[in-house]
Amino acid sequence: MSLRLPDFSGLNILIAGDVMLDRYWQGATSRISPEAPVPVVRISELEDRAGGAGNVALNIAALGGQAQLLGITGNDEAADALQHCLENQPGVQCHFSRIDGHPTITKLRVLSRHQQLIRLDFEEAADDIDSHHLHQQFDAQLPTADIVILSDYAKGTLNQAATLIERARAADKKVVVDPKGLDFDRYRHATVVTPNMAEFEAVVGPCRSDDELCDKGLNLCDTLALDAVLITRSEKGMTLLQQREPPLHLPTHAREVYDVTGAGDTVVAVLAAALAADCNLNDAARLANHAAGIAVGKLGTATVSPVELHKALQPDIASNNGIISEDLLLDEIRHARQAGETIVMTNGCFDILHAGHIRYLEQARSHGDRLIVAVNADESVRRLKGSSRPINPLQQRMEVLAGLRSVDWVVPFSEDTPERLICKLLPDILIKGGDYRPEQIAGGHCVSANGGKVIVTDFVAGQSTSGIIEAVLKEGRQG
């Protein structure tokens, strides 16, 4: 079954956790310092990014959702820079508790030629942070939230995580936790926790096999009353464990690991957004796994867009080699348009494919970026062409069409005309061969009313399926 990318727009996601400012200083290195055996970096580029729970919020916004971000910062320049990074992105609203005398957590990375040379951390212990204001903001935002994310970096913001989970669950909200530390008991009753392998083994002990990992993960779910645990396992991908369901082991989709910074933020953001969009846990984990593969291929804390995620899903979507259902095709069209692509559509029986068909389809494809070919089902062909047709059954006709370089998607329809299907898909350009007028073409009125174009092209003279069949029959009679 193909994995579908849900529509994340309109989701409102509440995020509480440790926010921090990631600073990147980059420049060229050409010599070693005479003062110490270290490279000298001539800084030429300064960049600020939001890290921690801030990066989770940016990932939600990049997907098209709305992020309500709660966190604790200092009342300093770094807090101003962090808030600017976040609210400069449409879809993020910050509800920070600013504390005088408490520095905003800042991580400064010095890089040269895309290689990190050193990281400098600016932070203070925060075990005694007053989280009263944060909890007030949590209660205020909770009623309109579709789901809750707790992003824990063990910096003190979520010292009372259990209280937030209790309030969220009482409000019938799912809670996704990116955990930290050895005390997972404070995440009791969460919907799902997402530890990496090191964090998981630090809590449950070493796992020398997949069976042992599954046993300990399910025991953790049972002990803490969790719906599931999703363990990220670096080059081994991910494992999702949930009660009364078989383990789901997902291989990594990373083609090249460039930087793992923030990949966990992407995982928890996509997982939570998918759950909020009514995906089941298995599909949400699969989407998060694909997103992680994209994120680790980028430098520094990074986000993943729906277009990138959609492209990553292409092997799943294309498992039928371009033959696709109507509903899945609607998703494909939506994501193609997000990428700025023009959708062209045509239709026909395509019983015995010949050179005229090839030229016609290539001409149709030249009008846009993607070509949909709608194909009459067998009963439809019989009603139109007679009881002896089609020569080739529907599946074979679709497979041949899907193999053409000009064709992106092949979709069947059962009616005598494709009007219903065209009015459902609403391509940007509808093309039909023959001597029709545009207003005579089935579905043309829907395309035109939607702002699209209807184009009539000429068939290649002397080439038709009926002509080929007649020639074969004639040869047979003469033979």
Percent with pLDDT over 70 in the chain: 90
Cβ–Cβ under 8 Å, residues 79 and 98: yes
191/227 Cα distance (integer angstroms):
5
Residue with tokens 């980028």: 298
Cβ–Cβ under 8 Å, residues 245 and 120: no
Catalytic residue among 22, 76, 146, 265: 265
Q: What are the start-end ranges of the E strands in 133-226?
A: 147-151, 175-178, 192-193
Cβ–Cβ under 8 Å, residues 299 and 325: no
Residues of the chain with pLDDT under 70: 1-2, 126-127, 253-262, 297-301, 314-321, 435, 459-479
- Output the pTM of the full model: 0.70
* Residue 83 pLDDT: 96
- Residue 148's DSSP bridge partners are 14, 175
CATH number (3.40.50.10420, 1.10.3720.10, 3.40.50.620, 3.40.190.10) of 321-478 reads 3.40.50.620
* Residue 4 pLDDT: 79
Of the candidates 367, 348, 374, the residue with the CA atom closest to the CA atom of residue 464:
348
Q: Which pair of structure tokens corresponds to residue 209? A: 């096999």
Residue with tokens 């928890």: 268
Cβ–Cβ under 8 Å, residues 69 and 46: no
User: Cβ neighbours of residue 344 under 8 Å, at least 6 residues apart?
Assistant: 364, 365, 367, 368, 369, 370, 371, 372, 427, 428, 429, 430, 431
Cβ-based burial of 185 (10 A; exposed 0-12, middle 13-18, buried ≥19): exposed
Dihedrals phi, psi of 452, to nearest 5 degrees: -90, -175
Q: What is the b/e burial string over 309-331, where b = at least 16 CB atoms within 10 angstroms of the residue's CB?
A: bbebbeeebbeeebbbeeeebeb
Cβ–Cβ under 8 Å, residues 9 and 282: no
Q: Which helix (H) or strand (E) holds 355?
A: helix 355-365
For 352, what's the count of Cα atoms within 13 Å in the CB-facing half-sphere?
Answer: 12
For 100, what's the count of Cα atoms within 13 Å in the CB-facing half-sphere?
Answer: 0
Residue with tokens 């020639």: 471
User: Cβ neighbours of residue 34 under 8 Å, at least 6 residues apart?
Assistant: none
Report CA 110 to chain centroid distance, whole Å. 31
Is 96 in a helix, a strand, or coil?
A: strand
Which CATH architecture describes the domain 12-318? Answer: 3-Layer(aba) Sandwich (3.40)
Residue type (1 letter), 255 = R
Could you report how far apart the first and last alpha carbons of the chain are, in Å? Answer: 49
- Category of 381 on φ-ψ map: left (φ > 0), alpha (ψ -120 to 50) or beta: alpha
* Residue 423 pLDDT: 96
Domain ranges for the chain: 12-318, 321-478
108/95 Cα distance (integer angstroms):
24
185 is an active site residue? no
390/382 Cα distance (integer angstroms):
7
> How many C-beta atoms lie closer than 10 Å to residue 259's C-beta?
16
The conformation of residue 122, written as its DSSP 8-state character, comes to: E
